[in-house]
Structure 1
Amino acid sequence: MRLLARDDVRFCDVTPAVRLPDLQLSFRASDTSPVLAAFLDVVRLNCDEVGSRLDRILSHHPGVGAL
């Protein structure tokens, strides 16, 4: 998030680090929204394991999450 820094936003490290809860992704199989596609691209870039599972799932639904 620091790479997207804004002048009016401050960041503070949390010590000790806390484990975040597991997250689930959910979206409509027919959704071809450019916003969804961009979000899924960010997931692929930053979450290798999730990205590969996501690609396997989406391979059964051509056009989903595509620009």
Structure 2
Amino acid sequence: MAKRKFKKQIYRYECTMTGEAFKTTREAPNPNDLVSVKAYYELNPDEDDRPEEIKKQLQTEE
């Protein structure tokens, strides 16, 4: 018996703050509440636990 090949469903969403588009294979329960990682850390700078190297690299990219 041959195996069936399943096609994955791809969902496309957009960050409500930055407008950055991204895609995922799971459907979001609240797509209007999605924000990118960058926007999340802008909203919550006290929870930014990334290494200093990453923070500097992101600042130079802007």
Normalising by structure 1, we get a TM-score of: 0.25
Q: Which has the larger radius of gyration?
A: 2
Greater relative contact order: 1 or 2 (C-alpha under 8 angstroms, separation 6 or more)? 1
